[in-house]
Amino acid sequence: MMNKTELINFFTSHCPDIEGVDEEEIDNFLVQFNLKLRPEHRNYLIKYGNSTKLVKGWFADCTFNNFKEHIFDLEEYIGDEIPKEGGVYFGHDFSDESLSIESASGNIYIYYNGDPDLLMYDNVDSFIFHCLFMNIFSDKKIERNVNIKTKNMEDFISENKDYKIEGLGGYYYSYYLNANMLIVVDHKEGYYSIYRGGILDLLI
């Protein structure tokens, strides 16, 4: 089974909406304003930072332009969700919440009164994968069976533990891959969805 990095690279290669930011532009901005990012945050901006169709939509905006525009007016822009020292603004999520990275761990949280409050994404990779999933899996060629209720989520997770994609997850979702079948578990709502076919057939 592919690991998370291989899967992200695979889905990225099949996503037509990827647009990065020049590495020098990012580094110059960081140096000019004495800003420090975790390496994976910087790499995310370089690779995906101008992908407006991927990381911007509905309420979301995790583009480099949004980062530049609001990094210095966070108190006015996001109010109580501004991170204290030890957290760095990441962007706006699809649920209309602001996201910040905890510098020590790399977890992406919604902050409240300066402190990490709700863990939304386990890491930057989890956010990227979620965006790629939403972008690519709108393809009608992919078969889907969605919102399947399970009587016992713990039993379901235990039965599928060998297929879990390690290192991807967050408040809502975890992901499982069995051959060409991607299973997305929604822990908040207590259901799972199955996707197969389309580009997933290239995995086998």
Give the CA distances from residue 58 to residues 17, 48, 61, 62, in Å, rounded to whole numbers and listed in that order.
Answer: 16, 18, 8, 12
pLDDT at 95: 83
Least confident residue range of 40-49, 76-85, 180-189: 76-85
Summarize pLDDT for 121-153 with one digit per residue, the tens: 999 999 999 999 988 877 778 899 999 998 888
Residues 110 and 189 in one domain: no
**In whole angstroms, what is the distance from residue 128 CA to residue 43 CA?**
11
Give bridge partners of residue 154 from the DSSP assignment.
Answer: none
Q: Which residues constitute the domain of residue 47?
A: 4-130
Residues 146 and 124 in one domain: no
Residues 126 and 181 in one domain: no
Q: What domain count does the chain have?
A: 2
Residues 86 and 187 in one domain: no
Mean pLDDT (whole number) for 40-45 = 98
pLDDT at 76: 67
Residue 136 lies in a domain: no
**In whole angstroms, what is the distance from residue 48 CA to residue 41 CA?**
10
Residue 158 lies in a domain: yes
Summarize pLDDT for 9-22 with one digit per residue, the tens: 999 999 988 999 99
Handedness of CA 130, 15, 1, 191 (dihedral sign): positive
Residue 46 has pLDDT above 90, yes or no: yes
Residues 150 and 120 in one domain: no
End position of a domain, from candidates 130, 164, 192: 130
Residues 28 and 60 in one domain: yes
Residue 79 has pLDDT above 80, yes or no: no
Residues 84 and 183 in one domain: no
Residues 113 and 172 in one domain: no
Mean pLDDT (whole number) for 82-109 = 90
pLDDT at 140: 75
Residue 110 lies in a domain: yes
Given a contact cutoff of 8 angstroms between Cβ atoms, the answer to whether 62 and 32 are in contact is no
Residues 17 and 110 in one domain: yes
Least confident residue range of 74-78, 120-124, 161-165: 74-78
Single out the residue of 203, 162, 164 nearest to residue 192, CA to CA: 164
What is the C-alpha end-to-end distance of the chain, expressed in Å? Answer: 9
Task: Look up the CATH number of the domain holding residue 101.
Answer: 3.40.1580
Given a contact cutoff of 8 angstroms between Cβ atoms, the answer to whether 139 and 198 are in contact is yes
Summarize pLDDT for 164-186 with one digit per residue, the tens: 999 999 998 999 999 999 999 99
Mean pLDDT (whole number) for 69-77 = 77
Residue 181 lies in a domain: yes
**In whole angstroms, what is the distance from residue 75 CA to residue 120 CA?**
21
Q: How many CB atoms lie within 10 A of CB 71?
A: 14
Residues 111 and 197 in one domain: no
**In whole angstroms, what is the distance from residue 29 CA to residue 19 CA?**
18
